[in-house]
Structure 1
Amino acid sequence: DLLGYRLRYGVKDTVLNEMILQVTSHKITQLERGVEYEFRVAGQNHIGFGQETIKYLLTPEGMPAAPPANITHRFQTPDVVCIQWDPPPRPKRNGQIVRYDVQFQKKLDQTTVIDRNTTHTKAVFSNLEEASEYVFRVRAHTKSGSGPWSEKSVITTERDMVRA
């Protein structure tokens, strides 16, 4: 006699959740978007569990639900800054990140915004003016579209820059 089923599931190549069921269907909610899941089902009788059936399912992608994380900057020279970041946290990526947008501008000049896109997690901006404030922000994209912008960050260049 069939006593029930063991269902094991989770993101592929991670530790799987396990549950014992007496029914032949079960709804699983709150799956991440754009992620490959592994599902394993085995029947149980008085001897134990049988061989598992394994299925893989790729959930549909969505737009990132969070901006890039851990945004930092460092000056490479007094007039060149490198901005770096990490992708959004995995549960908020909603798929494969295909590119990033970076907006960079002088704080007091709203008319000259530099828009740059990159597949890397950094961007370099050069020819900065001395004793000036610059503002930048970053967002991530999946194939489904763009996520939210990060908070704006402000950097200040030094006075009396000596150019190399």
Structure 2
Amino acid sequence: FRITDLYPGRLYNISVRSIVGAEESREVLANGGAGQLTTPSRPGKLMLEKASATWSPYHIYITWTNSTSENGVERYSVSLTSGTGSIGQVEYSGNRHGVNITNLCPGMSYCVRVVAELRNLISPPSDNCFSTVETRPSDAPTNLILIPQRRSLIVIFNTLRRPNGRITTYECYIHNLNTSTDTIQNHTTARKSSIAVETFIIRDLEPYTNYSIRVRAYTSVGSGPWSDPVSECTLEAAPGNVSSFSAAPINYTTVHLTWTPPTKRNGIIREYVIVNPPAANVRVRSTTQEYIVTGLNGYTHYTFGIMAVTVEVGNEARISVRTPEGRKLCWICARLILLYINSNL
């Protein structure tokens, strides 16, 4: 027959005797008198808490309530996981209802799972996720690569091994090696810390200019160390206007053009293109800084242009000039008639 309404996890001595009429048999103890242990009840679910007064960038103290098991708990099992997977597991026995978890990383998210164990019975798991306190980054971006554009640099680098929190900003120190001037650009980021490679673009640079670049990362607490400097030259672009462009008449059919190279060359000047209204455009060598225009008409307005050329043709600089008066046409006609008459005499 079945004995009911017993308490779980209790040791009971059970005796059996037969009764026939008024006579009772001798008492017999079950299990030879060793008693019978009922099956313990499963431990109840724990309530986890973190003691905020003691948590830090590198450790956290986790506490939990006592199990509701009527039979107590033999031990507690605590496991810790992060985004990189299982960190470790430690068993705690006795009446301890808290554990100080150490050797953590700053600014990292963790999940703690605690179960109570009694023999082969395990309580429902109790989970609690938290983040350690952020600090400044411990290291700098590495393996910086600069990809030059005409007025920008694409920066590619490996992210930090020890960010110590969520990186919010990358600060870029830009040193112009040609002019020895410095500027700072900040680049915000919303990427996850698990990203291995970061990319951003430094803009508003000068073409064909040498720059030295360093980068450092920021968390909400502050900045980390600077990376090693990396140098690169931006690509060539179209040059600016030539300087000191002037036009001076030599006589009524000839004009002398002079100029100096552009202030912003933006590359290597390869040639100049002269816009010559009386004829086709003229190309002259980059070392040339003057040109004689001939075959013009007297007392006439002309507009000349010139453009410097690198990998692209630059902006056109223009100048207008009027040639002086030439000989009168009636005098020329009179001379021709006189010569014609003399030749027939």
Q: 1:98 aligns with which of 168, 174, 179?
A: 168
- Counterpart contact for 1:12–1:38, Cα < 8 Å: no
Deviations 1:51-106 (A, max 9, x none): 111112221111111112332111234x54222224312xx111111111001112
2:156 matches 1:84: yes
Question: Please, which runs of 5 or more residues in structure 2 have no aligned partner?
Answer: 1-71, 190-198, 236-266, 269-309, 314-345
1:16-95 alignment runs, 5 A limit: 16-22=87-93, 24=96, 25-77=98-150, 80-89=152-161, 92-95=162-165
Which residue number in structure 1 is paired with residue 224 of structure 2?
A: 147
Amino acid in structure 1 at the alignment position of 2:311? V
- Counterpart contact for 2:185–2:202, Cα < 8 Å: no
TM-score, scaled to structure 1? 0.81
Offset at 1:113? 0.5
* Larger RCO, structure (CA 8 Å, separation 6 or more): 1
CA distance in 2 between counterparts of 1:162 and 1:27 reads 66
2:196 matches 1:124: no
Offset at 1:19? 2.2
- Counterpart contact for 2:153–2:234, Cα < 8 Å: no
- Counterpart contact for 2:170–2:218, Cα < 8 Å: yes
% identical aligned pairs: 23
- Counterpart contact for 1:85–1:122, Cα < 8 Å: no
Amino acid in structure 2 at the alignment position of 1:96? R
Q: Alpha carbon RMSD of aligned pairs, Å?
A: 2.5
Offset at 1:17? 2.1
Amino acid in structure 2 at the alignment position of 1:136? I
Which residue number in structure 1 is paired with residue 86 of structure 2?
A: 15
TM-score, scaled to structure 2? 0.41
- Counterpart contact for 2:206–2:234, Cα < 8 Å: no
Q: 2:212 aligns with which of 128, 135, 140?
A: 135
CA distance in 2 between counterparts of 1:141 and 1:18 reads 33
**SS of residue matched to 1:33:** coil
Using a 3 Å threshold, how does the CA distance of structure 1 residues 155 and 58 change in structure 2: closer, same or farther? Answer: same
Using a 3 Å threshold, how does the CA distance of structure 1 residues 117 and 12 change in structure 2: closer, same or farther? Answer: same
**SS of residue matched to 2:120:** coil
CA distance in 2 between counterparts of 1:64 and 1:105 reads 23
Greater Rg, structure 1 or structure 2? 2
- Counterpart contact for 1:41–1:53, Cα < 8 Å: yes
CA distance in 2 between counterparts of 1:101 and 1:22 reads 50
- Counterpart contact for 1:103–1:115, Cα < 8 Å: yes
**SS of residue matched to 1:51:** coil
Amino acid in structure 1 at the alignment position of 2:115? A
Amino acid in structure 2 at the alignment position of 1:29? T
- Counterpart contact for 1:67–1:149, Cα < 8 Å: yes
CA distance in 1 between counterparts of 2:126 and 2:141 reads 38
Using a 3 Å threshold, how does the CA distance of structure 1 residues 114 and 5 change in structure 2: closer, same or farther? Answer: same
